[in-house]
Structure 1
Amino acid sequence: MWGLDAPFYFYLLLLIPILIAVYLWNTLWKKKKINEFGSGSYLKRLAPEASTTSKPLTKLILLAVVVFALIIALVNPKFGTKIETVKRQGVDIVFAIDVSKSMLAEDMAPNRLGKSKQLATQIINSLASDRIGIVGYAGSAFPMLPITTDYGMAKMYVQDMNTDMVSSMGTALSQAIEVGSNYFDDPKTSKVMILISDGEDHGEGINDAIAIAKDKGIKIITIGVGTPNGGQIPIKQNGKIVDYKKDTDGNNVITKLNETTLKEIAQGTGGIFMYGSNTNEVIQIVDKTLQKIEKTDFESQQIADFQSQFQWFIALALLLLIIDSLVLERRTAWMKKLNLFNEK
């Protein structure tokens, strides 16, 4: 088995035909100038040791091979010496993140949604071999990213979440739990849902959703973002606050953290509730909670142990450069004897 570190360096191979073209042009130019100066036996008497063909061509071949070897060294071919079977162990985790309008409240910096993104990203950074998925929800819930081990992709999806993703108003916690529970299709895996929300629920069916989670063996960790005193929901244009969301009576809406609902969900599924104000504390608690959960064997992977081979090509290039430095433009005695190009 083999592989290449940087195959795009193969484009540099175009330098070799350019090098040959320059050599041909230079050869023709020299020949033209020599013919203008003199010809035949007259030139041989003036420069009897000059090599008109063999030495320049030899140096060209050496230089071309040097360039080729250095390019291959940049590409860094790798050859596999053995194959190892690696088993992954971890937990299936689904992040359910609230993107309702109340998450724009700025009682947590930069706002509740921004804090939720920060929490989710930092938790993902702390994971090792767990599989993760993402669900977004507001007045309804929708799947965003199926179960995967691609943490980079997951963090990108988290950062792209915004309050315009769902047109329906409200916060349907029950739908978030139901949609998230559908991600867990393997009854043998350990299952965790991390629900990040301000807890404001305008839907029904929380008890039914909790029952579904319990039936599937899903522990739900709830993280509350927001404060009990609450905050107003700003309306912004070009990044500046122009007004605040108002109710039907024209009063500014005050949205508050509803920890009661979040605690009910966590306790009903054997999970835990925590405040999301201190990111480091949240990460530590989540990490300790996950460590207590039995890990599941995921799919086995075969990994080839590749060895870099660039050093051989660098060594070849250095050797040829040394040889090139020993090849002079004039004919030497040993080259006369070899007479590789049948020169008279």
Structure 2
Amino acid sequence: MTFANIEYLFLLLLLIPYILWYILSKGKTSPTLQVSDTHMYASAPKSYKVYLLHAPFLLRLLSFTMLVIILARPQTTDNWQNTEVEGIDIMLAVDVSTSMLAEDLKPNRLEAAKEVASQFINGRPNDNIGLTIFAGESFTQCPLTIDHAVLLNLFQNIKCDIAQRGLISDGTAIGMGIANAVSRLKDSKAKSKVIILLTDGTNNAGDISPLTAAEIAKSFGIRIYTIGVGTNGTAPYPVPTYAGVQYMQVPVEIDEQTLTQIAGTTNGNYFRAGSNAKLEEVYQEIDKLEKTKLNVKEFSKREDDYQLFAWILVVSILLEVVLRNSILKRIP
């Protein structure tokens, strides 16, 4: 236990002169009843009240002590703490272009990817994990963090309509997604740095080509695992109309050659996920990555812990009042 105002504990020194005064003044008090000779009372049995004679004094000392402790604000000993855990640094780069609304995976590609990736994140509590999203442009949704509750909350909020709402341009800028993730990992001290790239299309936007971005990642010792999501052939795609949502079959065009080259350049692997089950298998395979030690700074909040001392203070005051006005009441 620690004290926020520890200097108040010096007030306990005031108890010393008070105790001395009580001892010295004990023999100077005037008797309530004066008699000529007390020998006749020598063999008389003592009342239990004799043993309670100094109880008010002791209760007063206890009350003052409790009051000083409360003023010193006792607190729990939670604080910043450095701990060492096993983990790796991972950036998730997720395609959020409108084509991710195709429903060959259920309920659609993006939601399936979010569900499986969330399970992956929950299964790696000691990893630093971040999130980059990309369509025609790319930006960081969440930087590397060990606080996975925040990461999952931001992850669940991503939608494919950000391009439709004009927040970013539509398209598939794979190179930009990789470059953005590399910028978050390049200064990492972890032994293993990984990008997990998930897309359902071919690169058709951005200022950096996917292979150039892969070379940059390689120079920083970053491995890239690429995932092509989508069935073979065609996939049902929802199209809003005045008559409601209609479905049309659109061709699945995944540039597997480029995704394979990206993974090969960085000593990673390429996976094809044509179903929800296959997507889960892909993340389980990536889950077997090596681990390295990370230093993590944890914080736990300090809280005042005075309640017990306050109860003791109240009880001791009430008990002294009761004793002085009942059993130990003085008659003038």
What interval of TM-score do these two structures reach, taking the shorter chain for normalisation?
Answer: 0.5 to 0.7
Partner of 2:171: 170
Of 218, 223, 243, 1:214 maps to 218
Cα separation, partners in 2 of 1:233 and 1:321, compared to 1, 3 Å:
farther
Cα separation, partners in 2 of 1:322 and 1:209, compared to 1, 3 Å:
same
The answer (yes or no) to whether the contact 1:199–1:262 under 8 Å persists in 2 is no
Residues 1:232 and 2:226 are matched in the alignment? no
Where does 1:138-287 land on structure 2 (aligned, <5 Å)?
Answer: 138-166=135-163, 167-186=168-187, 188-189=189-190, 190-203=192-205, 205-236=209-240, 241-244=244-247, 253-276=250-273, 277-278=276-277, 280-287=280-287
In structure 2, give the amino acid aligned to 1:185. K
Q: Residue 204 of structure 2: SS of its match in structure 1? A: coil
Instruction: Please identify the structure whose Cα radius of gyration is greater.
Output: 2
Q: CA RMSD in A?
A: 4.2
TM-score, length-normalised on structure 2? 0.63
Cα separation, partners in 2 of 1:213 and 1:331, compared to 1, 3 Å:
closer
What is the number of equivalent residue pairs in this alignment?
A: 260
The answer (yes or no) to whether the contact 2:175–2:209 under 8 Å persists in 1 is yes
Cα separation, partners in 2 of 1:174 and 1:120, compared to 1, 3 Å:
same
Aligned partners of 2:239 and 2:137: how far apart in 1?
Answer: 22
The alpha-carbon deviation at position 116 of structure 1 amounts to 1.5
Q: Residue 178 of structure 1: SS of its match in structure 2? A: helix
The alpha-carbon deviation at position 310 of structure 1 amounts to 7.0
Task: Give identity over the alignment, percent.
Answer: 33
Partner of 1:133: 130
Residues 1:335 and 2:332 are matched in the alignment? no
The answer (yes or no) to whether the contact 1:135–1:142 under 8 Å persists in 2 is yes
The alpha-carbon deviation at position 323 of structure 1 amounts to 4.4
The alpha-carbon deviation at position 322 of structure 1 amounts to 9.4
Q: Residue 233 of structure 1: SS of its match in structure 2? A: strand
Partner of 1:87: 84
In structure 2, give the amino acid aligned to 1:183. R
Unaligned runs of at least 5 residues, structure 2? 5-62
Q: Name which of structure 1's ranges 260-269 and 145-154 shifts more when overlaid on structure 2.
A: 260-269
Q: Name which of structure 1's ranges 136-145 and 270-279 shifts more when overlaid on structure 2.
A: 270-279
Cα separation, partners in 2 of 1:318 and 1:260, compared to 1, 3 Å:
farther
The answer (yes or no) to whether the contact 1:231–1:256 under 8 Å persists in 2 is no
The alpha-carbon deviation at position 186 of structure 1 amounts to 1.6
Aligned partners of 2:3 and 2:155: how far apart in 1?
Answer: 33
In structure 2, give the amino acid aligned to 1:94. M
Aligned partners of 2:182 and 2:79: how far apart in 1?
Answer: 40
Q: Residue 215 of structure 2: SS of its match in structure 1? A: helix
The answer (yes or no) to whether the contact 2:82–2:295 under 8 Å persists in 1 is no
Deviations 1:85-113 (A, max 9, x none): 42344322111010001100000011001
Cα separation, partners in 2 of 1:100 and 1:304, compared to 1, 3 Å:
closer
Partner of 1:48: none
Unaligned runs of at least 5 residues, structure 1? 5-64, 246-251, 338-343
Cα separation, partners in 2 of 1:78 and 1:111, compared to 1, 3 Å:
same
